[in-house]
Amino acid sequence: MLLHDLAPGMHPRRVRIFLAEKGLSIPRKEVDAAGHANETPAFLKLNPLGKLPVLELDDGTAISESLAICRHLEELYPTPPLLGSTSRERAQIDMWTLRMEFELSRPIAQVFLHSSEFYRGRIEQVPQVVDHARRHALATMQWLDRELASRKHIADDLYSMADIVAQCAFVLGKAVALRIPPEMAHLSRWFAAVSARPTARA
């Protein structure tokens, strides 16, 4: 297996943390996206969307989409479980992972996509999207702060994929001045705990 990686990227970070939580180390190749190496014909053969991460299997299969990569890794290496052990847990973690994807990660990514130097000239940047997405992310944070008053982690008391998606979103949030407001005590407590895990800097 080979992980085509992008060290500063939010989605590749999800996969690296997932691997680290499993105690796995696989070969990785850093792709120079700033230098447009993700737009070459060779890379587009791996992922026609030109996005990272991509997990290339030994038989040449290329899996992109960070959540799909993690699903594959979970099936190969089920311990410790990060996607749930029972059907109830799996449904619960999927539900929260999708909520974190669409209600937190996506709006924070939108702020970055529509305001950063990196995406200037790569996509059509619409300044109005930035304010809207910022408000969306803040509303999600308020909701999460209430949710985390009664449990340790996002989906349940156990650390899971839902936490990984959310913590990676907040790492990107720091780059676009979308930090967790200190008065959100429960969300702050959760973020301090996940950031202190030995895998957080993977």
Nearest to ligand GSH of 121, 127 (CB atom):
121
Burial of 160-196, coded b for 16+ CB within 10 Å and e otherwise, reads bbbbbbbbbbbbbbeebebebeeebeebbebbeebee
Q: What angle do CA 160, 194, 77 make, to 5 degrees?
A: 35
- How far from 87 is each of 15, 58, 60, 90, CA to CA, in Å? 23, 30, 31, 5
Binding marks (x or -) toward ligand GSH, 92..131, rule CB under 6 A?
Answer: ------------------------------x---------
Candidate residues 3, 4, 11, 107; the one interacting with ligand GSH per rule CB under 6 A: 11
14, 164 contact by CB (below 8 A): yes
Residue type, 34: A
User: With CB under 6 A as the contact rule, which of the stretches 21-29, 47-55, 84-92, 178-186 interacts with ligand GSH?
Assistant: 47-55
Letters for 133-172 (x = contact with ligand GSH by CB under 6 A, - = none) are ----------------------------------------
Is the CB of 28 or the CB of 51 nearer to ligand GSH?
Answer: 51
Q: Contact 43/50 with Cβ under 8 angstroms? A: yes
Of the candidates 3, 5, 10, 94, which one interacts with ligand GSH according to CB under 6 A? 10
Tally of CB atoms within 10 A around 3: 20
Cis, peptide link before residue 41, omega less than 30° from 0:
no
Q: How far is the CB of 202 from ligand GSH (least distance, A)?
A: 15
* Cβ at position 176, least distance to ligand GSH in Å: 13
Nearest by Cα to 96 from 51, 52, 142, 140? 140
Minimum Å distance from CB 60 to ligand GSH? Answer: 19
Q: Is 66 in the site for ligand GSH (CB under 6 A)?
A: yes
Q: Say how many residues touch ligand GSH, by CB under 6 A.
A: 14
Pairing of strands 62-64, 54-56: antiparallel
Nearer to ligand GSH among residue 53 and residue 84 (C-beta): 53
Q: Which residues bind ligand GSH (CB under 6 A)?
A: 6, 9-11, 33, 38, 50-53, 65-67, 122
